[in-house]
Amino acid sequence: MPEQKRDYYEVLGVSKGASDDEIKRAYRKLAKKYHPDMNPGDKEAEAKFKEVNEAYSILSDSEKRARYDQFGHAGVDPNYGAGGPGGGFGGFDMGDIDLGDIFGSFFGGGFGGFGGSASSRRNGPQKGESLRASLTISFEEAAFGCEKEINLNRTEECEACHGSGAEPGTTAETCPDCRGTGVVRVQQRTGGFAFSSTAPCSRCRGTGKIIHTPCKACGGSGSVKKSKRVTVSIPAGIDDGQAISLRGQGNAGKNGGPAGDLIVAVHVKPHPQFRRDGTTVLYEQPVTFYQAVMGAELEIPTIDGKVKYNLPAGTQTGTTFRLRGKGIPELRGRGRGDQYVTVRVQIPTSLNGEQKEALRAFAEAMGEDVPEESGLKGFFDKHKKRK
Ligand SMILES: [Zn+2]
Ligand SMILES: [Zn+2]
């Protein structure tokens, strides 16, 4: 058994009410002073360095510090005073100390051998895994929202044992190797002195408990695979490539932790007529040459159905007008975008003799010089050059 441990506050030379900053400052000063690389072969400095690190690992962690304040050393080191496998002089959890920060500047970052360690609360409540799924919906369904069903295979908490893994009527024993923490201390030698870090307990596989009579329904795992049909409510305004997260619809959590989430990626099918840019709907309206010249009352499709629009006489091809509020609703908002309509004048590609005659007469009336033979070709060539 080691001699009585010194008080952690005393080790760092700070008061019990010291702020986190004060503790950090005191630790940096002492860690540098006693660091083995600065004191080669000095056993006393090495011991002090370990002591300082251990004190800091507890006092820098608000949860551990609170336990230490309440219960003393026994509150933060399960081996303390019990002659545990670590020989009593508990190491520290490297995961809690920002060594890169402290030693990076000091030793040029070449301070190898300090891996992070497993969480010291390995057997604590853990959130379940999140699941991923995808849905393909129509343009209109994306605009106005919809409900879809997804078939999922997920793990759920076993109803028979309520997730404990122990057959109903029996209880699980706290693992004696790790005292229920799910982690054990492992000694590591670095640069001639030993650190202890933590590793998952092999006896209970990190669960902290040993089940003597496994639950028959789940085989002791505490969870069962289930096929579930989940209704996904897709909000109006969602866009292609966006995802929605359904809290708690993923796999069951462990040790009483919450279930994971279900993340649904949404694909929106392209629309034959509409394109979308955010909340804006883009649409191209074909009109005839006559309509463009003379004006027309058009019926324009929108996601709400057809709306009337008076096309002014003399509208040029490529002209864009706006239908206010006919776009996509804002995702989780109140507003709606607009629909932009671009007018495309359709140029006839084949005309019969009568039509050609009428067009030539029209061109002549417009003062164009229309050659008798090449006819329409000339008209189109000139038209092209003017563009
Ligand atoms: Zn069970
Ligand atoms: Zn264990």
Q: For residue 111, how many other CB atoms are within 10 A of its CB?
A: 17
pLDDT band at 41 (very low <50, low <70, confident <90, very high): confident
Q: For residue 97, how many other CB atoms are within 10 A of its CB?
A: 20
Task: Name the more confident of 6 and 281.
Answer: 281
Please state, in angstroms and rounded to a whole number, the distance separating the CA atoms of residues 89 and 83: 9
Distance of CA 41 to the CA centre of its chain: 49
* pLDDT at 85 exceeding the cut of 50: no
Token digits of residue 356? 């050609």
Judged by its nearest atom, the ligand closest to the C-alpha of residue 216 is 1
Residue 249 is predicted with a pLDDT of: 94
Which residues, by Cβ under 5 Å, contact ligand 2, an ion?
175, 177-178, 201, 203-204
Q: Distance from the CA of 156 to the center of ligand 1, in angstroms?
A: 10
Quick check: 232 and 149 in contact, CB under 8 A? Answer: yes
Which of the given ranges, 55-64, 316-325, 367-376, has the highest pLDDT on average? 316-325
Quick check: 50 and 192 in contact, CB under 8 A? Answer: no
Token digits of residue 16? 């019990």
Residue 289 is predicted with a pLDDT of: 94
Judged by its nearest atom, the ligand closest to the C-alpha of residue 218 is 1
For residues 106, 109, 112, 115, the Cα torsion angle rounded to the nearest 10 degrees is 100
Across 129-138, 165-174, 371-380, least confident range = 371-380
Task: Kindly tell me the sign of the dihedral angle through the C-alpha atoms of 47, 48, 49, 54.
Answer: positive
Token digits of residue 32? 């540098």
Q: Distance from the CA of 52 to the center of ligand 2, in angstroms?
A: 28
Residue 120 is predicted with a pLDDT of: 42
Residue 138 is predicted with a pLDDT of: 97
Work out the percent of the chain whose per-residue pLDDT is above 90: 48
Q: What is the pLDDT of residues 181-206, one digit of tens each?
A: 888 888 777 677 777 777 888 888 88
3-state secondary structure of 108: coil
Please state, in angstroms and rounded to a whole number, the distance separating the CA atoms of residues 309 and 163: 64
Residue 139 is predicted with a pLDDT of: 97
- Taking the model in full, what pTM does it have? 0.56
Q: What is the pLDDT of residues 276-305, one digit of tens each?
A: 999 999 999 999 999 999 999 999 999 999
Across 105-109, 122-126, 135-139, 149-153, least confident range = 105-109
Q: Distance from the CA of 212 to the center of ligand 1, in angstroms?
A: 13
Q: Distance from the CA of 118 to the center of ligand 1, in angstroms?
A: 27
Residue 116 is predicted with a pLDDT of: 32
Q: Distance from the CA of 159 to the center of ligand 1, in angstroms?
A: 6
* pLDDT at 90 exceeding the cut of 50: no
Rounded alpha-carbon distances, angstroms, from residue 30 to 4, 89, 308, 343, 360:
21, 19, 81, 77, 99
Q: Distance from the CA of 324 to the center of ligand 1, in angstroms?
A: 58
Q: Distance from the CA of 206 to the center of ligand 2, in angstroms?
A: 6
Residue 379 is predicted with a pLDDT of: 52
pLDDT band at 104 (very low <50, low <70, confident <90, very high): very low
Residue 126 is predicted with a pLDDT of: 82
Residue 72 is predicted with a pLDDT of: 80
Which of the given ranges, 101-110, 142-151, 181-190, 251-260, has the highest pLDDT on average? 142-151
Q: What is the pLDDT of residues 67-76, one digit of tens each?
A: 888 778 877 7
3-state secondary structure of 294: helix
